[in-house]
Structure 1
Amino acid sequence: MLSQGPNIGFDVNILENYSEDPNIELSFPLPTDKDTYVDLEANEKVANTWSILQNFIKFTTGVDWDSIYHPNEYTYSINKYSSAFNTKMANYMKDRLENSDEKLDECVDSLVNQEIRLNLIQGKDYVRRFKEVKEFMVKYYTQENEKNLPKFMTRSYMRVCYLTIMSLMKKMFPNGIWCSREEFSKLHQKYLENPMSIIFLPNHQSHIDYIILHLVAIRFQLSTPTVIAGENLNVAVFGSILKGLGAIFIKRSFNNEMYTERNLANFIEFTLLNKIHFEVFIEGTRSRDGKLLLPKYGILKTLANIYIKQREEEGNDNFDMLMLPVSISYERIYEADGYLSELMGKDKVKESGATIFKNGLRHFFGGSEGLSNINEDYDNSTRHLHGKIYIKLGNFFSLSDFIESDLKSASDMDLIPGSKVNLKKLGYKVLHEINRCSFLPKISIIGAAIQTHYNLYKRQRFDIYQLVPIMRLLIEAFKEEESENIINMSLLESLSSSSDKELVEMTREQMPHFLREIKVNLKTNEIIIKDSMELLYYKNLTVHVIVHKALASFILLSLTDNMRNANILHKMFYIFTGFLKHEFLFDYDYNDKHKLSNILKSLVANGKIERVFPNPNSSRPSYKIIDYHYLNCFSEIIKPFIESYSICIYHLNNIITKFNEEHGFVDFKKLAIDDTGIDYPHTKSLFKAIQSNQDSKSLNHIESTNKQYLMSCLYYINNLQLIEIIKNKRRTKAFVLISNGKDLHFIYTFLNTLLRCSTQLGAGDDNDTINEISVGYMIDIIDKNFERDPEELVTSTENFESGKLVDVSLKSKF
């Protein structure tokens, strides 16, 4: 039943009583027997400051000013907000630049020696030139540090920022930011056992993410973290505020700059040595489509290298970090409208102080407009839509535990250059944990059901009651996978035991609050789909839970009866977990439920497929489909990702072929410096062409043309060395060259054959379907292992547009 309420397992809304009672009570009393539990040099006791502003706020509003951020600094961490600490930080960075960092001297030496080799200076000028270059670099990085590194203000500054931001957030998210008291209590207990830097590792979907953990930390008496932010946010006024709160602004890419990465590492090492908490989004950028992006390893490498240096070179045996994956789930992201435009081809709106200020005012003065007056004629076209935010802490672990356990099994093949630690395994461990603990809001389940229904039946309008069977199917599938997530299981059990009428009422209540392009007529119970792309985000909040079952379902449907044996099914599963590895976290997945053999056993046990032996003398089982509808529902969830490859390859060929016909040979050396005078196809123009093409819009899944899916496709086939992506010298464009048209052609026809057969629910002539030879050749493409002659693969010579498997030995590259 649905009577358990909307916040099962979330007992604290940090936006409630934020001024009257700033410190949320933990499930255990914080120790108070010592002034401070962090014995560090320069941990200066917090001074009580007096100012006209703070006294005005205190006496005119009744805010409990003295309780805000009271024990967080000094008592349970180092006091960052003191002149002594800021002086210590400045002196440390100054010393690293001017004296103690041998890396800077190595960089200078390399530059000066290069000038000597080029005869720009003579050897006798070495000492003079070394001094000049070093002085220049010290001055440059001193200025960069002043611009990009935090400048911690005072506790009064922190309190004013806290009250201001909390007031704004309450307007933007009137339904609250929810978390668990017990989870933060356990984190506090672990931290106090052995104080060290907590490395907050949240997923990244919104600019709001930057500030949420600061607010949570303040309320739960944790010290606020320093946080890695893109330099695009270092804009007038707003950038200064973020720096005062601990933001570290970095470039998207260091572009092989000799010392920039080391300079950043020096500052991060300083924060960790002082046990300051640290926050980094290892996805590197915001996900626009609801699911996790693959990890970026730059900051993880920095953290790991600092750990190795402190332990092995400095002899600091107690140095460590507490790694904490964090899931932040939104019922609706405030950038949702902009994301939808971006995904469908419009340029990203560049951040500026004016736009940030404008958005803040818009939400502050109109955040809850009309949400309490929804009727059958409601109009969401201009209403400010928003929902709850849910914060879940994953299982924390020390970096030392990870590294010591990994060193026993790691090989050189596992390591990223420049690191002694398996960073890929570390990154995937964090993201798998975020997926494991993430909360599934009700609207995500509703959105996934609507999207699946729409893809199955292509109806723009349908009754809510027609949605209920698919919703129940998804709920039961989620229950099978989410047994370890107690909060999700509580919600799913409640939904599972609800009547059809209750599920319909839930859908009627949820949709008007979060969806703009999908509407429900509250009088007729009719769902009206204007733009199904809006559902992409909500479906993808859930897709990680069932992606393996969806993939198995697609493969079963796309093969003929004689090809559904266990050997071929496992090969196909291997192929597609490769193809979709840029979209999903298939690597380092230790969940046995995600193994194909266990998925097949579950489908057999639930009566969806049957295990058979076509040949009485054979020991190799095959699988017969019993419930086509069930498999088709899950197949539709994964098809858009596969269809993206078909679209991307088809248009890539057409656009580049047309360009070559019109312009002939292109000098790629000139192309790299934008000196050709012609606009050779690049990623941005390719995506725009796909999204504006009418053929693309008539495809089965409009979501398959979104920018994020297409980008994943492009970079995967680049990894397969079938195309080459070349950036120009100014790094403003990424040009696309076809380097292996034959295999690219083969992939296109292979995928199209599967897509067509799965739509026909396994029907088709054997000559028009996938066979064992084509499956083997596909694996060869992925593994780059060409032991067989591709001339063997002649199965059909129908043209490229048909989508049928063709002769890959044809001389034409497309």
Structure 2
Amino acid sequence: IEQAAGDDNELSARKIRRILRIHFRRVRNTVLGQKIYVREQVISRISNGKLVRQEIEREAKGNEQKLRDLDAAAVRYARELSADQTYSMVRTFEIVLAKLWNKLFSGVEVSNGEIPHQLAAADYEIVYVPTHRSHLDYLLVNYMVYAGGLPAPHTAAGINLNFFPMGWFLRRTGAFFIRRSFRGNRIYTAVVEEYMAYLLTHGYPISFFPEGGRSRTGRPLPLKTGMLAMVVKSFVRNHERPIAIVPVYIGYDKVMEVKSYLKELSGGAKKKESMFQLLGARKLLKMYYGKAYLSYGEPIILSRFLDATQPDWKTLSDSKPEWLSAAVNDLSQQVSKHLNEAAVITPISLVGLALLASNHKALPLEELQAFIEKMIELNNRLPYHANVKVMSDNFAEILESAQKLKAISLYQHAAGDVAFVNDVDAALISYYRNNIAHIFTIPALIARFFHQQ
């Protein structure tokens, strides 16, 4: 306004209107993201993309009938895959999920929430890569990102979740459904790559679970590199928009499916997701689940990573260069490391760590308190990483949380109460112990060495 003060009123007004339009467009894109695409147009664009056409022509080998069949297959794959996000459904899900979280949890704790906001303000394309503990992860990540004032990401979901009506709803909130295995189907792989490239180059944030499936033990799973490779290949092909990969640690005081995990680990068959299973889950809503936790880890700026591992990556024309596999493996190690560094030390994980390390899975309360306080002190003095968060350092609160979750039992005795877990509860609580075992592994090995000496 001060700069335009010397101009005539009409010219000043035009300048101010232009500046305000640009400002409000940027604010809108930061909160809502890019304008939602027309799904049929994207399906057509993907099925006619360069990678897809190359694979179709390679397989058809000049056969006109086969060419038409493969064209139809590419369109079918693109339709099966692509999201159909709408603002109204995202907003509806925000309202529904807010009520669901209030019913399920006593709170959702978010740590390091400034990280994605800083990246969005710097105009980075954000790729969220969360740990995978529960089916609720899909909903929790999208909800917390959107409720935090950022665009809801397009989330890769397993094709097993594409059942009516859940698949219909998820697709309209931004889920795109991917088959468990692409092996041997090069056209399907090309369709997925083209879709990922479209999202990344047009300003749509993405979320996918690099572990591939839910952890049945609570331990981190080795990362699958397929989706990460697609992100890298897309960026190598078109690096106009900077990309930041943001690890997201997800934890729960009580995982809704933990008992089914125990059955699967004991040899039981995994139940297929269906409408009947969804209806049967209503009884689970009456249980107490404590808190949920979401912690953002240190982001990986993809251009900096490639500059360090392959300095001439911008000058290469090959869509799949020789160095790609090694670079993606290194990237997956970085992501895994940053996920571990964003871990949350929850009350139930501390109690599990203490009781499962003791003889007979039992400890007098005084000893349990001394053990837990020593673990907290160890993390405070020699932190695994600055992003690791201890959610409570008050023993009374920690004990009360474990009791409310019905994770432990107390034996009252005149000489002092004893906390213990039976064999079934020990198997269940080991899940949460495993969430934080990596934080204390090295100190434990060092302590064991000196103890033996």
Normalising by structure 1, we get a TM-score of 0.49
**Match of residue 102 from structure 2:** 170
Distance in 2 of aligned mates of 1:342 and 1:140: 35
Q: CA deviation at 1:185?
A: 4.0
Query: What aligned pairs does 1:221-236 form with structure 2 within 5 A after superposition?
Result: 221-236=149-164
Compared with structure 1, are the counterparts of its residues 283 and 486 closer, same or farther at alpha carbon in structure 2 (3 Å cutoff)?
A: closer
Q: CA deviation at 1:451?
A: 0.4
- State the secondary structure of the residue aligned to 2:344: coil
Distance in 2 of aligned mates of 1:160 and 1:469: 47
**Match of residue 191 from structure 1:** 120
**Match of residue 572 from structure 1:** none
- State the secondary structure of the residue aligned to 2:270: coil
Alignment: residue pair count: 426
Give aligned-pair identity as a percent.
Answer: 20
2:345–2:391: 8 Å Cα contact kept in structure 1?
no
Amino acid at match of 1:107: E
Compared with structure 1, are the counterparts of its residues 235 and 108 closer, same or farther at alpha carbon in structure 2 (3 Å cutoff)?
A: same
**Match of residue 403 from structure 1:** 306
Amino acid at match of 1:90: E
Distance in 2 of aligned mates of 1:95 and 1:76: 23
> Does 2:161 correspond to 1:270?
no
2:43 corresponds, among 67, 82, 93, to 93
Distance in 2 of aligned mates of 1:187 and 1:104: 33
1:72–1:221: 8 Å Cα contact kept in structure 2?
no
**Match of residue 512 from structure 1:** 403
1:283–1:294: 8 Å Cα contact kept in structure 2?
yes
**Match of residue 525 from structure 1:** 417
Q: Which segment drifts farther, 207-216 or 336-345?
A: 336-345
Distance in 2 of aligned mates of 1:221 and 1:133: 48
Q: CA deviation at 1:387?
A: 1.2
Distance in 2 of aligned mates of 1:78 and 1:425: 31
Q: CA deviation at 1:424?
A: 1.6
Compared with structure 1, are the counterparts of its residues 145 and 485 closer, same or farther at alpha carbon in structure 2 (3 Å cutoff)?
A: same
- State the secondary structure of the residue aligned to 1:259: helix
**Match of residue 337 from structure 1:** 259
> Does 2:201 correspond to 1:280?
no
1:200–1:326: 8 Å Cα contact kept in structure 2?
yes
> Does 2:110 correspond to 1:179?
yes
Q: CA deviation at 1:298?
A: 0.1
- State the secondary structure of the residue aligned to 1:327: strand
Query: Can you list the C-alpha shifts for 1:426-478, whole angstroms capped at 9, x where unaligned?
Result: 1121121121122101221111000001xxx2x26553234344434434443
2:55 corresponds, among 103, 107, 128, to 107
**Match of residue 447 from structure 1:** 352
Compared with structure 1, are the counterparts of its residues 218 and 132 closer, same or farther at alpha carbon in structure 2 (3 Å cutoff)?
A: same
> Does 2:263 correspond to 1:362?
no
1:331–1:443: 8 Å Cα contact kept in structure 2?
yes
Distance in 1 of aligned mates of 2:366 and 2:31: 57
Q: CA deviation at 1:109?
A: 4.2
> Does 2:361 correspond to 1:467?
no
1:93–1:266: 8 Å Cα contact kept in structure 2?
no
1:77 corresponds, among 33, 56, 72, to 33
2:334 corresponds, among 411, 417, 429, to 429
Compared with structure 1, are the counterparts of its residues 322 and 388 closer, same or farther at alpha carbon in structure 2 (3 Å cutoff)?
A: same
- State the secondary structure of the residue aligned to 1:326: strand
Distance in 2 of aligned mates of 1:75 and 1:534: 40
Greater RCO structure (CA 8 Å; 6+ sep): 2
Computing the radius of gyration from Cα coordinates, the structure with the larger value is 1
2:31–2:151: 8 Å Cα contact kept in structure 1?
no
1:202 corresponds, among 115, 130, 138, to 130
Query: Can you list the C-alpha shifts for 1:484-529, whole angstroms capped at 9, x where unaligned?
Result: 43663685xx45xxxxxxx3x445412222244x322467723342
Amino acid at match of 1:201: V
**Match of residue 46 from structure 1:** none
- Structure having the higher helix fraction is 2
Amino acid at match of 2:283: R
Output the aligned Cα RMSD: 3.0
Query: What aligned pairs does 1:502-581 form with structure 2 within 5 A after superposition?
Result: 503=395, 505-506=396-397, 508-516=399-407, 518-521=408-411, 525-531=417-423, 532-551=426-445, 556=449
1:38–1:75: 8 Å Cα contact kept in structure 2?
no
Query: What aligned pairs does 1:227-266 form with structure 2 within 5 A after superposition?
Result: 227-266=155-194
1:346 corresponds, among 253, 261, 268, to 268
Distance in 2 of aligned mates of 1:74 and 1:187: 11
Compared with structure 1, are the counterparts of its residues 546 and 511 closer, same or farther at alpha carbon in structure 2 (3 Å cutoff)?
A: same
Normalising by structure 2, we get a TM-score of 0.84
Distance in 2 of aligned mates of 1:534 and 1:95: 48
Distance in 2 of aligned mates of 1:257 and 1:235: 23
Query: Can you list the C-alpha shifts for 1:736-759, whole angstroms capped at 9, x where unaligned?
Result: xxxxxxxxxxxxxxxxxxxxxxxx
**Match of residue 769 from structure 1:** none
Runs (5+) with no aligned partner, structure 2? 1-17, 314-319
